[in-house]
Amino acid sequence: MVYKNLTSWLKLKWVDRFSSLAVAFALALMAWLYGSNRDQEIIENVTIPVVVSLNSIQQEHFMLDVVPNMKVHVSFSGSPLKIREFRRTLEHDECVSKIEYSVTEDRLGEFKFGDNVVISESDIPVPQGVRARLVEGKNKIPVTVYRLGEKLIPVRLESGMEGSLFSQVLIEPASVLVKGPLEILDRTKTIPTHFTSVPFGSMAFHNNVSQSVRVAIVDELEGKPVRVLPSKVVVKSIPEPKKVYELSDISIRFLCPSNFAFKPKFTDERSAKLDVKIQGPVLNDLPKVLAYIDLTARPGTAGLNVESVKIQLPREFLLLEEIARERTIELIPLETVKKTAP
Protein backbone atom coordinates (compact mmCIF):
# COMPACT_ATOMS: atom_id res chain seq x y z
CA MET A 1 0.00 0.00 0.00
CA VAL A 2 2.82 2.38 0.87
CA TYR A 3 4.59 1.44 -2.40
CA LYS A 4 1.51 2.27 -4.51
CA ASN A 5 1.11 5.67 -2.84
CA LEU A 6 4.78 6.48 -3.47
CA THR A 7 4.51 5.54 -7.13
CA SER A 8 1.44 7.73 -7.62
CA TRP A 9 3.13 10.63 -5.92
CA LEU A 10 6.22 10.35 -8.18
CA LYS A 11 4.04 10.25 -11.31
CA LEU A 12 2.19 13.40 -10.27
CA LYS A 13 5.48 15.10 -9.46
CA TRP A 14 6.92 14.23 -12.90
CA VAL A 15 3.78 15.38 -14.77
CA ASP A 16 3.77 18.65 -12.86
CA ARG A 17 7.45 19.27 -13.64
CA PHE A 18 7.03 18.40 -17.36
CA SER A 19 4.02 20.71 -17.62
CA SER A 20 6.01 23.54 -16.08
CA LEU A 21 8.85 23.02 -18.53
CA ALA A 22 6.46 22.92 -21.50
CA VAL A 23 4.76 26.13 -20.43
CA ALA A 24 8.12 27.83 -19.89
CA PHE A 25 9.33 26.76 -23.35
CA ALA A 26 6.14 27.99 -25.00
CA LEU A 27 6.40 31.35 -23.24
CA ALA A 28 10.06 31.67 -24.27
CA LEU A 29 9.21 30.83 -27.90
CA MET A 30 6.41 33.37 -27.97
CA ALA A 31 8.68 35.99 -26.47
CA TRP A 32 11.34 35.23 -29.12
CA LEU A 33 8.85 35.38 -31.95
CA TYR A 34 7.41 38.63 -30.64
CA GLY A 35 10.90 40.12 -30.32
CA SER A 36 11.88 38.89 -33.77
CA ASN A 37 8.79 40.35 -35.38
CA ARG A 38 9.40 43.67 -33.72
CA ASP A 39 12.92 43.75 -35.19
CA GLN A 40 11.79 42.91 -38.76
CA GLU A 41 12.01 45.50 -41.56
CA ILE A 42 10.17 45.15 -44.88
CA ILE A 43 10.84 46.41 -48.42
CA GLU A 44 7.64 46.13 -50.41
CA ASN A 45 6.86 45.78 -54.13
CA VAL A 46 10.31 45.94 -55.71
CA THR A 47 10.71 45.01 -59.41
CA ILE A 48 13.51 42.52 -59.99
CA PRO A 49 14.85 41.79 -63.51
CA VAL A 50 14.51 38.21 -64.71
CA VAL A 51 16.92 36.64 -67.19
CA VAL A 52 15.74 33.37 -68.71
CA SER A 53 18.23 31.35 -70.74
CA LEU A 54 18.20 27.96 -72.37
CA ASN A 55 20.39 25.31 -70.82
CA SER A 56 23.74 24.95 -72.60
CA ILE A 57 23.10 21.37 -73.80
CA GLN A 58 19.96 22.36 -75.77
CA GLN A 59 21.24 25.63 -77.24
CA GLU A 60 22.37 23.91 -80.47
CA HIS A 61 18.88 22.55 -81.12
CA PHE A 62 16.48 25.18 -79.75
CA MET A 63 16.10 28.94 -79.48
CA LEU A 64 14.34 30.71 -76.63
CA ASP A 65 12.35 33.88 -77.35
CA VAL A 66 11.69 35.91 -74.21
CA VAL A 67 10.00 39.30 -73.93
CA PRO A 68 12.81 41.77 -73.15
CA ASN A 69 13.09 43.55 -69.79
CA MET A 70 10.88 41.07 -67.95
CA LYS A 71 10.53 41.72 -64.21
CA VAL A 72 8.71 40.30 -61.18
CA HIS A 73 7.39 42.12 -58.12
CA VAL A 74 9.04 41.02 -54.89
CA SER A 75 8.84 42.06 -51.24
CA PHE A 76 11.74 41.50 -48.84
CA SER A 77 11.89 41.16 -45.08
CA GLY A 78 14.69 40.78 -42.56
CA SER A 79 16.50 42.44 -39.70
CA PRO A 80 17.11 46.18 -40.07
CA LEU A 81 20.86 45.60 -40.48
CA LYS A 82 20.42 42.96 -43.20
CA ILE A 83 17.78 45.00 -45.03
CA ARG A 84 19.98 48.10 -44.91
CA GLU A 85 22.85 46.16 -46.51
CA PHE A 86 20.50 44.62 -49.08
CA ARG A 87 19.15 48.03 -50.11
CA ARG A 88 22.56 48.87 -51.58
CA THR A 89 22.31 45.76 -53.77
CA LEU A 90 18.90 46.86 -55.01
CA GLU A 91 20.06 50.43 -55.66
CA HIS A 92 22.89 49.14 -57.87
CA ASP A 93 20.52 46.76 -59.76
CA GLU A 94 22.61 43.81 -58.65
CA CYS A 95 19.67 41.63 -57.66
CA VAL A 96 18.81 39.69 -60.81
CA SER A 97 16.90 36.43 -60.98
CA LYS A 98 18.62 34.08 -63.45
CA ILE A 99 16.58 31.10 -64.58
CA GLU A 100 17.76 28.21 -66.74
CA TYR A 101 15.03 26.75 -68.90
CA SER A 102 15.02 23.22 -70.30
CA VAL A 103 12.78 21.75 -72.98
CA THR A 104 10.99 18.75 -71.54
CA GLU A 105 11.35 15.36 -73.22
CA ASP A 106 7.74 15.27 -74.41
CA ARG A 107 8.23 18.52 -76.44
CA LEU A 108 11.59 17.79 -78.06
CA GLY A 109 9.92 17.05 -81.42
CA GLU A 110 7.87 20.28 -81.66
CA PHE A 111 8.89 23.06 -84.08
CA LYS A 112 7.40 25.87 -81.96
CA PHE A 113 5.51 26.10 -78.67
CA GLY A 114 4.73 28.53 -75.87
CA ASP A 115 5.44 27.96 -72.19
CA ASN A 116 5.56 29.77 -68.83
CA VAL A 117 8.59 29.91 -66.58
CA VAL A 118 7.47 30.01 -62.95
CA ILE A 119 9.68 32.09 -60.66
CA SER A 120 9.91 30.81 -57.09
CA GLU A 121 11.19 32.59 -54.01
CA SER A 122 14.33 30.44 -54.09
CA ASP A 123 15.12 31.93 -57.55
CA ILE A 124 15.55 35.41 -56.04
CA PRO A 125 19.17 35.86 -54.90
CA VAL A 126 19.09 37.25 -51.36
CA PRO A 127 21.72 37.20 -48.60
CA GLN A 128 21.29 35.12 -45.45
CA GLY A 129 18.85 36.79 -43.10
CA VAL A 130 16.68 38.27 -45.87
CA ARG A 131 13.55 36.58 -47.16
CA ALA A 132 11.88 37.18 -50.53
CA ARG A 133 8.13 36.97 -51.04
CA LEU A 134 6.50 36.81 -54.50
CA VAL A 135 2.93 37.66 -55.41
CA GLU A 136 1.15 34.44 -56.27
CA GLY A 137 0.00 34.33 -59.90
CA LYS A 138 2.32 37.17 -60.96
CA ASN A 139 5.48 35.15 -60.98
CA LYS A 140 5.26 33.68 -64.49
CA ILE A 141 7.40 34.64 -67.48
CA PRO A 142 5.98 33.70 -70.93
CA VAL A 143 8.50 32.22 -73.38
CA THR A 144 8.36 30.87 -76.92
CA VAL A 145 10.58 27.98 -77.94
CA TYR A 146 11.71 27.43 -81.55
CA ARG A 147 13.36 24.30 -82.84
CA LEU A 148 16.47 25.15 -84.87
CA GLY A 149 17.44 23.80 -88.27
CA GLU A 150 19.69 24.55 -91.26
CA LYS A 151 18.85 25.39 -94.85
CA LEU A 152 20.80 26.45 -97.94
CA ILE A 153 19.12 29.69 -99.09
CA PRO A 154 19.85 31.82 -102.21
CA VAL A 155 21.17 35.35 -101.55
CA ARG A 156 19.23 38.42 -102.75
CA LEU A 157 21.17 41.66 -103.27
CA GLU A 158 19.59 44.77 -101.75
CA SER A 159 21.60 47.62 -103.27
CA GLY A 160 19.37 50.10 -105.05
CA MET A 161 21.13 49.20 -108.31
CA GLU A 162 17.90 49.28 -110.28
CA GLY A 163 18.49 51.63 -113.17
CA SER A 164 22.25 51.68 -112.69
CA LEU A 165 24.84 51.23 -115.41
CA PHE A 166 25.14 47.56 -114.55
CA SER A 167 22.10 45.48 -115.38
CA GLN A 168 23.51 42.25 -113.98
CA VAL A 169 25.54 41.13 -110.97
CA LEU A 170 27.11 37.85 -109.94
CA ILE A 171 26.90 36.82 -106.27
CA GLU A 172 29.50 34.41 -104.88
CA PRO A 173 28.47 32.19 -103.24
CA ALA A 174 24.98 32.33 -104.68
CA SER A 175 23.52 30.51 -101.65
CA VAL A 176 24.48 30.48 -97.97
CA LEU A 177 23.83 28.09 -95.08
CA VAL A 178 21.33 29.64 -92.66
CA LYS A 179 20.71 28.26 -89.17
CA GLY A 180 17.58 29.45 -87.41
CA PRO A 181 14.00 28.56 -86.44
CA LEU A 182 12.77 25.76 -88.71
CA GLU A 183 9.32 27.33 -88.92
CA ILE A 184 10.82 30.48 -90.50
CA LEU A 185 13.38 28.68 -92.67
CA ASP A 186 10.65 26.54 -94.26
CA ARG A 187 8.93 29.60 -95.75
CA THR A 188 12.06 31.60 -96.61
CA LYS A 189 12.88 31.56 -100.33
CA THR A 190 15.78 34.07 -100.37
CA ILE A 191 17.86 35.87 -97.76
CA PRO A 192 18.71 39.54 -98.43
CA THR A 193 21.96 41.37 -97.94
CA HIS A 194 22.10 44.54 -95.87
CA PHE A 195 21.06 47.48 -98.02
CA THR A 196 24.27 48.67 -99.67
CA SER A 197 24.96 51.36 -102.21
CA VAL A 198 27.29 49.24 -104.33
CA PRO A 199 30.22 51.48 -105.40
CA PHE A 200 30.49 50.38 -109.02
CA GLY A 201 31.96 53.36 -110.86
CA SER A 202 30.79 54.59 -114.25
CA MET A 203 34.37 54.71 -115.56
CA ALA A 204 34.69 50.95 -115.19
CA PHE A 205 31.38 50.61 -117.01
CA HIS A 206 32.61 52.66 -119.93
CA ASN A 207 35.80 50.57 -120.05
CA ASN A 208 33.78 47.36 -119.79
CA VAL A 209 35.61 46.37 -116.60
CA SER A 210 34.05 44.11 -113.97
CA GLN A 211 34.17 45.26 -110.34
CA SER A 212 33.57 43.45 -107.05
CA VAL A 213 32.67 44.30 -103.47
CA ARG A 214 31.99 42.31 -100.26
CA VAL A 215 28.48 42.72 -98.86
CA ALA A 216 27.16 41.52 -95.47
CA ILE A 217 24.05 39.35 -95.23
CA VAL A 218 21.29 40.12 -92.71
CA ASP A 219 21.51 38.25 -89.40
CA GLU A 220 17.79 37.97 -88.70
CA LEU A 221 14.66 36.76 -90.46
CA GLU A 222 11.16 37.88 -89.44
CA GLY A 223 12.69 39.55 -86.41
CA LYS A 224 14.38 36.36 -85.17
CA PRO A 225 18.18 35.99 -85.08
CA VAL A 226 19.79 33.57 -87.52
CA ARG A 227 23.37 32.43 -88.09
CA VAL A 228 24.65 32.71 -91.65
CA LEU A 229 27.71 30.99 -93.13
CA PRO A 230 29.43 32.77 -94.74
CA SER A 231 28.23 36.06 -93.30
CA LYS A 232 29.42 38.04 -96.36
CA VAL A 233 29.27 37.45 -100.10
CA VAL A 234 31.22 38.87 -103.04
CA VAL A 235 29.14 40.86 -105.52
CA LYS A 236 30.67 41.22 -109.01
CA SER A 237 29.40 43.55 -111.69
CA ILE A 238 28.72 42.31 -115.20
CA PRO A 239 28.68 45.28 -117.60
CA GLU A 240 26.42 45.07 -120.61
CA PRO A 241 28.05 44.82 -124.06
CA LYS A 242 28.55 48.25 -125.61
CA LYS A 243 28.54 49.63 -129.12
CA VAL A 244 29.84 52.80 -130.75
CA TYR A 245 27.29 54.80 -132.76
CA GLU A 246 28.11 57.62 -135.21
CA LEU A 247 25.02 59.75 -135.78
CA SER A 248 24.95 62.46 -138.48
CA ASP A 249 22.74 65.42 -139.30
CA ILE A 250 20.97 65.65 -135.95
CA SER A 251 18.67 68.66 -136.11
CA ILE A 252 19.21 71.33 -133.46
CA ARG A 253 15.97 72.66 -132.03
CA PHE A 254 15.14 75.88 -130.18
CA LEU A 255 13.71 75.86 -126.66
CA CYS A 256 11.78 79.12 -126.35
CA PRO A 257 9.83 80.60 -123.44
CA SER A 258 6.11 81.27 -123.74
CA ASN A 259 5.24 84.58 -125.42
CA PHE A 260 8.75 84.80 -126.87
CA ALA A 261 9.02 88.04 -128.87
CA PHE A 262 11.47 86.68 -131.45
CA LYS A 263 11.68 84.09 -134.15
CA PRO A 264 15.07 82.29 -133.92
CA LYS A 265 16.86 81.03 -137.04
CA PHE A 266 20.31 79.75 -137.94
CA THR A 267 22.53 81.85 -140.20
CA ASP A 268 23.24 78.82 -142.43
CA GLU A 269 21.96 75.29 -142.90
CA ARG A 270 25.09 73.58 -141.63
CA SER A 271 24.83 75.35 -138.28
CA ALA A 272 21.41 73.77 -137.79
CA LYS A 273 22.88 70.22 -137.78
CA LEU A 274 25.48 68.33 -135.79
CA ASP A 275 27.24 64.95 -135.83
CA VAL A 276 28.00 62.93 -132.67
CA LYS A 277 29.90 59.81 -131.75
CA ILE A 278 28.48 58.01 -128.71
CA GLN A 279 28.88 54.69 -126.90
CA GLY A 280 26.25 52.67 -125.08
CA PRO A 281 24.25 49.43 -124.88
CA VAL A 282 23.57 47.40 -128.00
CA LEU A 283 20.19 48.43 -129.42
CA ASN A 284 18.12 47.20 -132.33
CA ASP A 285 17.48 50.79 -133.46
CA LEU A 286 19.67 53.87 -133.49
CA PRO A 287 19.69 55.74 -130.17
CA LYS A 288 17.78 59.02 -130.13
CA VAL A 289 19.85 62.10 -129.29
CA LEU A 290 18.23 65.44 -128.55
CA ALA A 291 20.14 68.64 -129.43
CA TYR A 292 18.74 72.08 -128.58
CA ILE A 293 19.54 75.70 -127.83
CA ASP A 294 17.93 76.96 -124.64
CA LEU A 295 16.55 80.49 -125.04
CA THR A 296 14.65 80.50 -121.76
CA ALA A 297 17.61 81.33 -119.55
CA ARG A 298 17.86 85.07 -120.39
CA PRO A 299 15.94 87.73 -122.32
CA GLY A 300 16.43 87.65 -126.08
CA THR A 301 18.19 90.43 -128.00
CA ALA A 302 17.26 91.17 -131.58
CA GLY A 303 19.97 90.44 -134.12
CA LEU A 304 22.84 87.99 -134.13
CA ASN A 305 23.56 86.00 -130.97
CA VAL A 306 26.06 83.27 -130.12
CA GLU A 307 24.45 80.40 -128.22
CA SER A 308 25.63 77.01 -126.96
CA VAL A 309 24.08 73.72 -128.04
CA LYS A 310 22.97 71.33 -125.30
CA ILE A 311 22.86 67.58 -125.91
CA GLN A 312 20.64 65.04 -124.13
CA LEU A 313 21.85 61.47 -124.55
CA PRO A 314 19.82 58.32 -123.88
CA ARG A 315 20.33 56.65 -120.54
CA GLU A 316 23.63 54.74 -120.14
CA PHE A 317 25.23 56.47 -123.16
CA LEU A 318 28.50 58.37 -123.25
CA LEU A 319 29.67 61.09 -125.67
CA LEU A 320 33.01 59.88 -127.04
CA GLU A 321 34.10 63.04 -128.85
CA GLU A 322 33.41 66.61 -127.89
CA ILE A 323 31.73 68.73 -130.53
CA ALA A 324 31.74 72.44 -131.41
CA ARG A 325 28.78 73.66 -129.42
CA GLU A 326 28.67 77.37 -130.21
CA ARG A 327 26.25 78.46 -132.92
CA THR A 328 25.48 81.89 -134.34
CA ILE A 329 21.75 82.48 -134.58
CA GLU A 330 19.56 85.42 -135.45
CA LEU A 331 16.63 86.60 -133.38
CA ILE A 332 14.06 88.35 -135.55
CA PRO A 333 11.33 90.36 -133.77
CA LEU A 334 7.89 88.92 -134.46
CA GLU A 335 6.62 92.32 -135.58
CA THR A 336 9.18 92.32 -138.39
CA VAL A 337 8.21 88.79 -139.34
CA LYS A 338 4.53 89.81 -139.61
CA LYS A 339 5.33 92.83 -141.75
CA THR A 340 7.41 90.82 -144.21
CA ALA A 341 4.88 88.01 -144.38
CA PRO A 342 3.04 87.90 -147.77
pLDDT per position as a tens digit, 47-84: 899 999 999 999 999 999 998 888 889 999 998 888 88
Q: Are strands 175-181 and 227-229 parallel, antiparallel or unpaired?
A: antiparallel
Q: Encode burial over 144-169: b for 16+ CB neighbours within 10 A, e otherwise.
A: ebbbbbebebebebebebeebbbeeb
pTM, 2 dp: 0.55
Top-ranked range on mean pLDDT: pick from 64-68, 160-164, 181-185: 181-185
How confident is the model at residue 292, as a pLDDT? 94
Judge contact between 59 and 83, C-beta under 8 A.
no
Residue 288 pLDDT > 90: yes
Query: What span, in angstroms and rounded, lies between the C-alpha atoms of 332 and 340?
Result: 11
Residue 188: per-residue pLDDT: 95
**Which domains, ranges and CATH numbers included, belong to the chain?**
41-147 (2.170.120.30), 157-238 (2.170.120), 242-340 (2.170.120.30)
Is the pLDDT at 218 greater than 80, yes or no?
yes
Q: Distance (Å, rounded) from C-alpha 217 to C-alpha 194? A: 6
Query: pLDDT tens, 103-159?
Result: 999 999 899 999 999 999 999 999 988 998 988 778 888 999 999 999 999 999 887
Mean pLDDT value across the chain: 83
The predicted model gives 311-315 an average pLDDT of 91
